[in-house]
Amino acid sequence: MAVTAQLAISFSKLNLHLMKAQIRIVVLLLCAMLVGLSTMSVALKSAVRQKKAHAIHHYLYVAVPGIRDYLGYGGHGLLVFDIDHQHQFVKRIKTAGFHPDNKPSNVKGIAVSIPLNSIYISTIESLQRIDLTTGKIIWEKKIEGGCDRMSISPDGEVMYLPSFENTVWNVVDCKTGNVIKKITGFKRAHNTLYGLSGNYVYLDDLASPWLKIADTKTHDVVSKVGPFGNFIRPFTINSKETRVFVTVDSLLGFEVGDLKTGKKLDRVLVEGWGKGPVRRHGNPAHGIGLTPDEKEIWLCDGYNMRLHIFSAVEPYQQLTTIPLQDMPGWITFSLDGKYAYPSSGEVIDAKTRNILLMLKDEFYNSVGSEKVIEVDFKDGKAVKAGDQFGIGR
């Protein structure tokens, strides 16, 4: 009996030692697993950070004062908004561009050169080039005859810069700002749009019912479209450069032209809304955009403070109307077509027509501008840019 009891005690002690050993092994295994999980977590977080660092980030650049020289729509500068994060305000870049009395001058246009990593702002008196990474002004040049709404070639090398409602279009070297050539024969040079092909530039003379077309190889006017029903105001084109949609003086609606034959094709009126006095531009419909997918035409209505939306396919059916907080004078879109940006400051979901938010600056003031463009970045450099015009893509 004593021997049996002793053996039982020995086996009990042995089992206890074995259990302790097993527990130690389990603890060691758990520690190893935790270390492994921690290492994996660090690796995953690092991978996510690297992915985010190398991802494409989308920003909206808004030049102000972009409604005449009114400082009540965002002050003075180049405002940057994060498209990927509900258009949150990111920063204000200090800009040049002043009247002779040192007050901020009207911003007339905005454009980007991806190869030069530069954004350009034209004002009544001058043209400035700003580095997109550093936000530093590279140069500002006073232009004889002033400046209006310019456009840059798809390769980012050449700019067509109209004089300020004057008789000349300047062809400008984007790198230096030097004038390559002057194109004459206009009355009131105004809006400019480079076609996506890079072969032609479309020139809107405020005092003419004809849209002029310049060949980018020779920098000469080679054809024209029209005559339209009145003097041409803002316009837009499709990606194939076969159609132009123009607003004209006194018309609450738009007209359509064939860019190949030079013929006017159609005249479309806004139904259900009357014309009345407008605070700016002197025109009932000033501002027109084609959605990037080329399915819809969005038209600004100043008197009624609305956007009218039409099908971009004949017979151009009027689809709906969106009320705005202020008079719109321009409209453009994000590159993916998800957002519409009227100059009155709303960010609109282009599919649902819902107004998502109002652009606000760092002081929570409403921001509005007719000079707006998307710029996309990767690794701190610009890789793609939209256009101040709502053009088909």
For the chain, domain boundaries:
1-54, 58-385
Give the C-alpha separation, 94 to 78, whole Å.
Answer: 7
pLDDT confidence of residue 323: 98
pLDDT of residue 48: 46
Token readout for 270 is: 């806004």
pLDDT value, residue 86: 97
pLDDT at 96 (0 to 100): 98
Q: CB–CB of 74/360 below 8 Å?
A: no
pTM of the model: 0.87
Q: Which ranges in the chain belong to alpha helices (H)? A: 2-54
Integer angstrom CA distances of residue 334 from 110, 208, 387: 15, 31, 9
Q: Are 189 and 169 in contact (CB under 8 A)?
A: yes
pLDDT of residue 31: 53
In the three-class reduction of DSSP (H, G, I as helix; E, B as strand; rest coil), residue 74 is classed as coil
73: three-class secondary structure by DSSP: helix
Tell me how far apart the alpha carbons of residues 169 and 190 are, in angstroms, rounded to a whole number: 9
Q: Residue 239 class from Cβ within 10 Å (0-12 exposed, 13-18 middle, 19+ buried)?
A: middle
pLDDT mean values, one per 10 residues, the chain (393 residues): 48 53 58 54 53 82 98 98 98 97 97 98 98 97 96 98 97 98 97 98 97 98 98 98 98 98 98 94 96 98 98 97 98 98 98 98 97 96 96 95
- The architecture CATH gives domain 58-385: 7 Propeller (2.130)
CA within 13 Å, CB half, 131: 9
Pick from 157, 170, 232: nearest CA to 198: 157
Q: Are 67 and 61 in contact (CB under 8 A)?
A: no
